[in-house]
Structure 1
Amino acid sequence: MSTDLLPITEYRDLCREIDLLNMRISQLESERKYYWKMCTQQRGMIGAANYDEERVSHNFTLMPFDRAYEHIQKLDKKLIILRKVMGEKEQLKAKMEKCMSEFEGLDYLVAYWRLQGLTLAEISDKLGYSYGWIKKISMRNGKKAVDHVRSTLYPKPNNI
């Protein structure tokens, strides 16, 4: 992978990670609701079918509150961690987007179309510039983005 693609690839990967975290959080929240219903609903509100017999019958037993509560506590611990990670990733994404939004003119267009998945050759054709010039701009943008993100995430101490 060339170094001019690094910031774009990192941004895309970050967006995918955020999407995956959202899916996992949503799934854990659904599971939490299920356990809450299992220990609080009236008989017949949540059903389970028994397909082992010739005739399908519904069999539902409420889960004891203490067992359901244990499951809920475990899920809550996972959710706390995932939401914290999600918040950190959302902050990083916002910082990267802010950095990229500071690009102007041709720099902005090249960065934008790289995020859209266009190759440098496609961008050069689209803009009417040489491939070499677009590659130089893309590398310059990549260095700006990497430097900005690094300085934001890892600021140098004042005494250095």
Structure 2
Amino acid sequence: MNFVTLYYDITKEIEIYELRLLDLEIELKAAVKLMHKGKLPSATHPVFVSLDKAAAQYDIVVEKIQEVSKRLDEKKQIRDRIEENIKDFKGVEHQVAYMRDILLMPLGAIADELGYSYSFISKISSRLKKMMRVPSDIVEQL
């Protein structure tokens, strides 16, 4: 069930890119403010910055935003493709893993949706969790 780990990894990457975009938006506001006021606050006296240097800083931040936005879009497309492929998996194990780990459905709802008993779905879920654990000797080799 490596697809679940892959899905979680790509989801975390998306979250990180979204946080980076928020950070860059703050930087962009600061760059705009610098262009308008022409000075940076400092401990003793304000530092004056020429318009061309302030504009250059603005351009750098805009370029970073474009790069991160592009990368974020790519990651979202990959996540969507992973979801589409996971939905096509056959077998109750894959369906349980998809519904439990991707859709975040409770086991009772999965049992109802798939037409199995809660006990059966619970056993499958438990077996899947055991399969996903990496043995400690493998982790030490990494």
In 1, are the aligned partners of 2:38 and 2:49 still within 8 Å (CA)? no
- List gaps (5 residues or longer) in structure 2: 112-116, 132-142
What do residues 13-38 of structure 1 show as CA deviations (whole Å, max 9, x unaligned)?
00100000011111112101101111
Q: Which amino acid aligns with 2:97?
A: V
Instruction: State whether residues 25 and 83 of structure 1, in contact with CA within 8 Å, keep that contact through their aligned partners in structure 2.
Output: yes
Match of residue 57 from structure 2 = 71
Aligned pairs, how many?
116
Separation of aligned partners in 2, 1:29 and 1:135? 45
Q: Using the TM superposition, give the Cα deviation of residue 97 of structure 1 relative to its aligned residue in structure 2, in angstroms.
A: 2.1
Q: What corresponds to 1:113 in structure 2?
A: 100
Matched, 1:12 2:8: yes
Distance 1:63 1:49, change over 3 A: closer
The alpha-carbon distance between structure 1 residues 114 and 84, as it changes in their structure 2 partners (threshold 3 A), is same
Alpha-carbon contact 2:4-2:97 (below 8 Å) kept: no
SS at match of 2:59: helix
Specify the code of the residue in structure 2 equivalent to 1:25: L
- What residue identity is the alignment partner of 1:72? Y
Aligned amino acid, residue 82 of structure 1: V
**1:129 alignment partner AA:** F
Superposed CA offset, 1:76-123 (max 9, x none): 22222211111111111112223334468944333221344x9xxxx9
More helix by share: 2
**Percent of matched pairs sharing the same residue:** 19
1:127 aligns with 2:118: yes
Q: Distance in 2 between matches of 1:134 and 1:104?
A: 19
The runs of 5 or more residues in structure 1 that have no matched partner are 53-58, 140-160
Deviation track 1:28-52 (CA, whole Å, cap 9, x = no partner) reads: 1210110111121488xxx8463x6
Q: Which of residues 74, 82, 86 in structure 2 aligns to 1:100?
A: 86
Contact 2:87/2:98 (<8 A) preserved: no
* Matching residue's letter, 2:19: M
Change (3 A) 1:93 1:134: same
TM-score by length of 1: 0.56
Match of 1:24 in 2: 20
